[in-house]
């Protein structure tokens, strides 16, 4: 199980801000953590209900392991403007972020229930004309 620090560090590594063997600065970690919490808290607005509660760096990443890589990539894309912008975003990283979002969407998307508008069921072609038992 990954920690939130693993997610934050991984996102910073994907951007090249932190080398593979380095630890992010406290400021970089705090900023990325804030953005991670904001990003995940915004998911219900996209009809993705992951049950995210604000986390701290020492907390455990609550989603399934298959969402770790995608979350790191989505976070990397989100925090890239604070670390140099689009120049840090490779097409591979953008694809990882999109794939990660698609996995979250696939697992946690709950669309509103659908119904048929009464106006469609009461159109003239659907009116009953008082003819009983007509065989065609």
Reported as a single tens digit per residue, the pLDDT across 97-116 is 999 999 999 999 987 776 77
Instruction: Give the model's pLDDT for residue 110.
Output: 83
102 inside domain? yes
Is residue 73 one of the residues assigned to a domain?
A: yes
In a domain, 135, yes or no: no
Q: Are 93 and 70 in contact (CB under 8 A)?
A: no
The mean pLDDT value of the chain amounts to 88
Joined together, the tokens standing for residue 121 give 């069921």
The pLDDT value recorded for residue 130 is: 55
Q: Is 100 a domain residue?
A: yes
- Residue-level pLDDT at 121: 65
Beta-carbon contacts of 74 under 8 Å, excluding residues fewer than 6 positions away, are: 39, 97, 100, 101
Can you tell me the distance from the alpha carbon of 32 to that of 39, in angstroms, rounded to the nearest whole number? 10
Tell whether 33 is covered by a domain. Answer: yes
Q: What is the span of the domain harbouring residue 62?
A: 4-113
Q: Is residue 128 part of a domain?
A: no
Q: Which pLDDT belongs to residue 89?
A: 87
- What is the number of domains present in the chain? 1
pTM value? 0.80
Whether residue 34 lies inside any domain: the answer is: yes
- 113: phi then psi, degrees, rounded to nearest 5: -70, 145
pLDDT at 24: 95
Say which CATH number the domain at 78 has. 1.10.3230.20
Whether 109 maps to a domain, the answer reads yes
What is the pLDDT tens value at each position of the chain, 136 positions in all? Answer: 899 999 999 999 999 999 988 999 999 999 999 999 999 999 999 999 999 999 999 999 999 999 999 999 999 999 999 988 777 789 999 999 999 999 999 999 987 776 777 766 666 666 555 555 555 5
């Amino acid at each position: 199980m990954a920690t939130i620090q693993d997610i934050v560090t991984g996102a910073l590594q994907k951007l090249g801000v932190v080398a593979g063997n380095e630890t992010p600065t406290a400021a970089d970690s705090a900023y990325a953590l804030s953005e991670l919490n904001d990003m995940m808290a915004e998911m219900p607005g996209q009809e993705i209900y992951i049950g995210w509660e604000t986390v701290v760096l020492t907390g455990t990443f609550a989603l399934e392991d298959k969402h770790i890589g995608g979350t790191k990539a989505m976070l990397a894309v989100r925090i890239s403007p604070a670390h140099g912008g689009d120049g840090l975003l490779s097409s591979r990283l953008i694809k990882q972020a999109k794939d990660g979002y698609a996995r979250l969407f696939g697992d946690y998307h709950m669309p509103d229930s659908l119904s048929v508008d009464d106006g469609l069921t009461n159109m003239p072609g659907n009116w009953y004309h008082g003819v009983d038992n007509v065989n065609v």
